[in-house]
């Protein structure tokens, strides 16, 4: 369907510029007049800025989007119209990406789209579950409350993500530092002693001989080695850019001792909190269950979500379908069963999500308490072995000189 760019005059005397997808120019004029605007100019657009390009808005920083949504909720709650609030945020925003995003949303709404439809054009910025919540909020007239709920959920997820990242960052820093020290020794320290080591010939111990050979090979094939690392990183990126491959990796990690517990608690907390957030903000239970597919990545649990969704859609009680699945741990399933039977599912899901997020925090603390010291020991052993190998070779030289 062709895209049309237009300019129109509002009743307040403002000139609005936008782009709309329509079958004909007459349909564009009809939509502009329906909005109460006076058409000034309409022309065919070579590329739709509201189509798949989504106003060419690149993926914005998640925290900037959360701040944008919080400000939008405050402005809408204070009585501003949605279009006026978006215009205000587009004109007064420190982030160019967010300002362009806000302007794109305003242009879509000026062209006759609903807010949910405008957000749906930016799937890389706004998740589908939030679009569904906004659609329900528009239908119920509680858009500001829904926006506040979205902001609270995004803030909680960001804090949890920071905690998980900090748990991963420390061991990676130690391992990275060890690798850099190792390369420094092999590329700059060992070559200084290479002529002396070569004179010893077969008198070198096995450790020193291995270090010398590794240093010689790395120095001679440095470009090949670095190129192989870059190619390997690119291959891994291509493999794990696919959702199904990430799901298989997560499923494999979930079986490792010490990691399986926190990952199970994280998956459970995400499932329950997302389900409760959707149901509490007006999304029907079958639709909410279908959207849980975007939360899980492991193929096994995606199939479980589909099975529970199909059963609920066909009229079976949610509690019964959930109890026969392997989607959630038994305790979580029992908690949601109570919520379903008492008709207070949103409140129960909030308590259950808090319970499993607390368990996840405890599990991460325990995991860090084990990984941190283990990583330090491993790094110390590797660096220590390298130093001992070099020092033993130097001592051998001293003994021969005596």
pLDDT tens, 275-302? 888 888 888 888 888 888 777 777 788 8
pLDDT value at 198 more than 80: no
Pair 2, 32: CB distance under 8 Å: no
Span 317-335, mean pLDDT? 86
pLDDT digits (tens, 9 = 90+) for 91-141: 876 678 888 888 888 888 877 778 888 888 887 788 888 888 888 888 777
- CA-nearest of 141, 166, 144, 150 to 65 is 150
What is the enclosing helix (H) or strand (E) of 170? Answer: helix 143-184
Q: Give bridge partners of residue 41 from the DSSP assignment.
A: 7
Expressed in percent and rounded to 5, the helix, strand and coil fractions of the chain are 75, 5, 20
DSSP letter string over 301-325?
Answer: HHHHHHHHHHHHHTT--HHHHHHTS
Superfamily of the domain at 159-402: Type II secretion system (T2SS), domain F (1.20.81.30)
pTM for the predicted model, two decimal places = 0.66
> For the CA atoms of 198, 201, 206, 208, what is the dihedral angle to 10 degrees?
-20
User: Which residue matches tokens 């240093």?
Assistant: 215
pLDDT digits (tens, 9 = 90+) for 221-280: 888 888 998 998 899 888 877 767 776 776 777 677 777 788 888 888 888 888 888 888
- CA-nearest of 13, 36, 39 to 28 is 39
Phi, psi dihedrals of residue 50, rounded to the nearest 5°: -110, 5
Q: How far is CA 48 from the centre of its chain?
A: 27
Residues of each domain in the chain carrying CATH 3.10.20: 3-44
pLDDT digits (tens, 9 = 90+) for 34-74: 666 777 777 776 544 444 444 445 567 888 888 888 888 88
In the chain, % of residues over pLDDT 70 = 84
Q: Which CATH class is domain 58-154?
A: mainly alpha
pLDDT digits (tens, 9 = 90+) for 156-190: 888 888 877 877 787 788 788 888 888 888 888 77
pLDDT digits (tens, 9 = 90+) for 344-399: 888 888 888 889 888 888 887 887 777 778 878 887 887 787 777 777 766 665 65
- Residue 6, SS3? strand
Q: Give bridge partners of residue 9 from the DSSP assignment.
A: 15, 38
- CA-nearest of 262, 259, 289 to 274 is 289
Residues of each domain in the chain carrying CATH 1.20.81.30: 58-154, 159-402
Burial of 306 (0-12, 13-18, 19+ CB in 10 A): middle
pLDDT value at 21 more than 80: no
Q: Which CATH class is domain 3-44?
A: alpha beta
Q: Give bridge partners of residue 19 from the DSSP assignment.
A: 5
CA dist 357 and 121 (Å) reads: 32
């Amino acid at each position: 369907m062709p895209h049309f760019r237009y300019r129109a005059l509002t009743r307040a005397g403002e000139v609005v510029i936008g782009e709309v997808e329509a079958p004909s120019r007459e349909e564009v004029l009809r939509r502009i007049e329906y909005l109460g605007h006076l058409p000034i100019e309409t022309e065919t657009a070579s590329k739709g800025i509201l189509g798949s390009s989504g106003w060419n808005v690149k993926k914005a920083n998640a925290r900037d989007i959360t701040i944008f949504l919080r400000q939008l909720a405050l402005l809408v709650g204070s009585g501003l119209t949605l279009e006026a609030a978006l215009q205000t945020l587009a004109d007064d925003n420190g982030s160019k990406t967010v300002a362009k995003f806000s302007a794109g949303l305003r242009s879509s709404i000026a062209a006759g789209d609903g807010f949910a439809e405008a957000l749906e054009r930016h799937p890389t910025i706004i998740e589908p579950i939030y679009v569904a919540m906004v659609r329900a909020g528009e239908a119920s007239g509680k858009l500001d409350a829904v926006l506040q709920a979205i902001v609270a959920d995004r803030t909680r997820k960001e804090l949890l993500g920071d905690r998980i990242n900090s748990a991963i960052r420390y061991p990676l820093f130690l391992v990275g530092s060890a690798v850099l020290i190792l390369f420094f020794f092999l590329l700059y320290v060992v070559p200084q002693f290479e002529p002396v080591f070569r004179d010893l010939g077969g008198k070198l111990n096995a450790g020193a001989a291995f270090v010398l050979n590794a240093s010689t090979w790395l120095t001679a094939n440095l470009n090949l080695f670095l190129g192989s690392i870059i190619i390997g990183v690119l291959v891994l990126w291509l493999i794990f850019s696919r959702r199904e491959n990430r799901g298989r990796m997560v499923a494999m990690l979930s079986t490792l001792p010490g990691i399986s517990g926190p990952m199970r608690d994280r998956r459970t907390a995400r499932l329950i909190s997302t389900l409760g957030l959707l149901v509490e903000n007006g999304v029907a239970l079958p639709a909410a269950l279908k959207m849980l597919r975007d939360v899980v990545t492991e193929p096994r649990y995606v199939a479980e979500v589909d099975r529970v969704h199909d059963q609920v859609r066909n009229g079976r009680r949610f509690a019964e379908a959930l109890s026969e699945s392997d989607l959630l741990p038994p305790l979580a399933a029992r908690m949601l069963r109570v919520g379903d039977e008492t008709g207070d599912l949103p409140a129960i899901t909030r308590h259950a999500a808090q319970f499993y997020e607390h368990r996840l925090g405890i599990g991460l603390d325990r995991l860090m308490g084990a990984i941190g010291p283990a990583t330090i020991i491993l790094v110390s052993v590797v660096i220590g072995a390298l130093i001992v190998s070099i020092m033993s070779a130097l001592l051998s030289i001293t003994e021969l000189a005596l």
